[in-house]
A and B are shown apart, each in its own frame.
Chain A
Amino acid sequence: MSYFRAENLSLHFGGLKAVDAVSFAVEQGEILSIIGPNGAGKSSIFNLISRIYRPTSGRIFFEDRDITEEPPYDIARLGIARTFQNIELFENATVLSNLLVGRHRHSATQLWQELLFLPSVRAGEKVHRRRVEQVIEFLDLEPYRDKLISGLPYGVRKVIELARALCSEPRLILLDEPSSGLNVEETDDMSFWIRDMKSELGITVLMVEHDMSLVNRVSDRVIALNYGRVLAMGTPAEVQQHPDVVAAYLGA
């Protein structure tokens, strides 16, 4: 059995088939990239996995468990975290509290305990804080700890999104275009972090990406999509030489 599996996943908006019977599997500990032209259905697949959309048909399995019908907030609880293409941070909060929201799935305190801020809540907060600090160190975010998101540059926000996802200690992470809007150095950093996530933290990575150099550097396998269908699957080199993929990109 694969670690994560999508079977015949489809998403139709009226007549438009955004995702059309897509099946793929992710093995534990690998980095799998999904590539494809704009509108190929890459982000839609992510939105299906994180249950922002409800699939028209098909099933999703994670760690041998059918998660197709799980409510959206339970996806994170199962150990799947994600980032967003257009950055969805909590704008009017500090970096620290953004990251602490990432810890939400690990908090076990009750409302009445929190109102009184009992020692158990305080102890929990310290654990969260320590974990967050580890992520801050991993991603070099120390200078920004107490800054408000609304004042930070785009590149930093992108990293904070990644950090927030990591704070939830996921086993599978979905990265939606991690390098979009980043400059060359920031993209380099990102590629190191993605590889470190796999090797040091043991996180399985599923990522949507346009930047082929990043894809080539980090991916173990690549899936190419077009018009909601899988064109090719394999190592980065294999997929890039696949005639259908070349045709889709060059428009021939």
Chain B
Amino acid sequence: MTQNYYHKEIETMKPEDMRKLQSEKLVKQVKHVYENVPYYRNLMDEKGVKPEDIKGIDDLHKLPFLSKTDLRDAYPYGLLAVPLEKCVKIHSTSGTTGRRVVAFYTQNDVDLWEDCCARAIMAAGGTNKDVCQVSYGYGLFTGGAGLNGGSHKVGCLTLPMSSGNTDRQIQFMMDLQASILCCTPSYAAYIGETLKEQGYRPEDIPLKAGIFGAEPWTEEMRRSIEATLGIKAYDIYGLTETTGPGVAFECSEQNGMHINEDHFYAEIIDPDTGEVLPEGSKGELVFTSLDKEAFPLLRYRTRDICVLSRKKCSCGRTLIKMAKPMGRTDDMLIIRGVNVFPSQIETVLLKEGYEPNYQIIVDRVNNTDTFEVKVEMTAEKFTDKVSDILKMEKSLAGSMKTMLGINPTIHLVAPKSITRSEGKAVRIIDKRKLV
């Protein structure tokens, strides 16, 4: 397979040159953060580290870590490193178990992020002749914006579909002959099943590649999606805290994701001791952003467990590879490719006069997510007629569909019957087995 590179010089750079580049960037970045982010300056001062102590990547281990808790404590502006007038947008995680994380972007940050996504699209075989259907959610979630920007940079004809409304997705895919699909793997599987139900065989489907990420998926699921859609399916990795998708991406080898390490330096640490582990060890992935202006996180602990490898890759890229992470705990749920923030469900319940006490149960049956919401019946709404209660469930499902874009199954249950632990309800039960 001929290789397309978006930034050939960077993507195939000799490792020693890459390290030199990273070192130069790191020195500047630490200075930028120390001068402009009092929150991180305090962490460095507490540790007794000065910017001049960091002369290159070899000194990185001297810097303090940042965790999701720091991001919540510093919400909203505490980690912002440039004046607001330089920022052009934000993206956000949901923050139902605490404060949400809001990440800021300057125009340069947006550009480097979109470049990262462009590298991912080209590694999946994309060119300016492709029609790229972006079916990640648009909005606060980074998925839609990132791949949309990357697709523009490559010069693909971009279909900004966002997630949901599967019939419309299929109609555009067929009518405009989409060749690349970007969405979550579970949504890709769902689109595939729907196409199959509508009588399309893999050879009838115009797609050649898919770039799927934002949730963990198995190799088995990859093969199943590839067979149903008649494509090659590529993994992509990222997180809002660093930028969004595109921090790492798969190439034709489909065996681990190349990290865009000219922008994001990766370390693997022992999650208990914080000690940096040698290449090939399994541990927690930590990212240091080397170029970001507005939200430059240094040594951010992702909570993802994985392995890094510098083994030679058949695609010619020399960028370090990360294995598929073994899962992440996060607030946002992605169900059938749609982002579901538990706070949205709470909003609907309050509006409809129910207690904001609910339980979301997600499972995966035949590669498709099931989505059930248990809601407690209220004394005001209770009637003696079954038909009335079934109507209430249907009406509540309708309101949630309007809010979320996907239809849940609503089950009204007895008050106080939703499990609580330590005084707090267990809101989410995700039964999807992915490993």
A, B co-complexed: no
Measuring CB to CB, which residues of chain A are less than 8 angstroms from any residue of chain B?
Answer: none
B interface vs A, CB < 8 Å? none
